[in-house]
Amino acid sequence: MIGKLLFIVALTGLVACNKPLPDYSGQPFAYSVSGLNTVNVPSNDRGALSCQITLISGNPENEPITVIFRGLPPNVAIKDSITFRANYFFSDSVIARNAPQGTYPVQAVFSTPAGQQTDSFNLVVGAPIDRASILAGYYYGSNSCGENVFISATVDDPAGQPYKCRLIEYLSPGYYTTNAWYDTTYCNIDSFSNTLIIPSQMVHGVAVSGTGTFSNGSAMLTRTYHTDTSQYSCTVMLSNQP
């Protein structure tokens, strides 16, 4: 009799442990957002943003969630208008390109067919990091710019200007020029897209401008060069490998 009673008690405990969870699917849709904390990013780099979207009740299949961000400072971007369902871990990059330093309150606005909710966090844009070091070094020209006009270049980092590089180009004497030239121009670096821009500037009385790309120790520049008697556009391949 005692053994039979113990069996009944054990069976009752087993049933209690396997009791099904309440069915929330028929209740109004609700969710929570957690982990949306302060984001730190250098003014010329990227940071990480993440949060957890947890279902509280309702059917998530019928309630797609879209997030947008408001209050971002100039030159800061977060890819928004992303759609997902509840019980989702959201993560993305915060990208700053020459952004003004400071602390900015940012709103993350989550929208569903049932309505909106807004969560806030601080975005702290800090001091820039050195990007010119990516390009720093001496570059050998692998092709000529005009007949017998060969170009090499030194790239360095102007002190206190971490967004910029200084491009010191050497044009060797050739058919079109009787003198060697040293041209110093300043360029803006965007290391996210591996590009640089030479803004229009006067060099030896000539307006010089150009664009370029760089990767794996090489750079390709298209800009206006000048000789003793003329100016012309040229694309030159540069490599810091001799």
CATH value at residue 97? 2.60.40.10
The whole-number average pLDDT for the span 1-21 is: 43
- Number of domains within the chain: 2
Is the residue at 217 inside a domain? yes
pLDDT: which is higher, 31 or 2: 31
- Residue 161 domain-assigned? yes
Q: Mapping DSSP to helix (H, G, I), strand (E, B) and coil, where does residue 6 land?
A: helix
Q: Do 230 and 151 reside in the same domain of the chain?
A: yes
Domain endpoint, select from 109, 126, 143: 126
Question: Which own/partner contact pairs does 205-210 have at CB distance under 8 Å and 24+ positions apart?
Answer: 206/231, 208/183, 210/185
Tens of pLDDT, residue by residue over 46-87, are 899 999 999 999 989 889 999 999 999 999 999 877 889 999
Instruction: Decide which of 107, 126, 145 is a domain's last residue.
Output: 126
- Binning pLDDT at 50, 70 and 90, where does residue 4 land? very low
pLDDT at 68: 93
Q: Is residue 227 part of a domain?
A: yes
Same domain, 84 and 115: yes
Average pLDDT, the chain: 75
Which of the two residues, 49 and 173, has the higher pLDDT score? 49
Q: Is 103 within a domain?
A: yes
Q: Decide if 160 is inside a domain.
A: yes
Evaluate whether residue 138 is within a structural domain. Answer: yes
- One domain, residues 136 and 226: yes
User: Residue 198 is part of which domain span?
Assistant: 132-239
Same domain, 74 and 137: no
DSSP lists the bridge partners of residue 138 as 154
* Residue 2 lies inside a defined structural domain of this protein: no
Q: Are 131 and 163 in contact (CB under 8 A)?
A: yes
Q: Quick one: 46 and 102 in the same domain?
A: yes
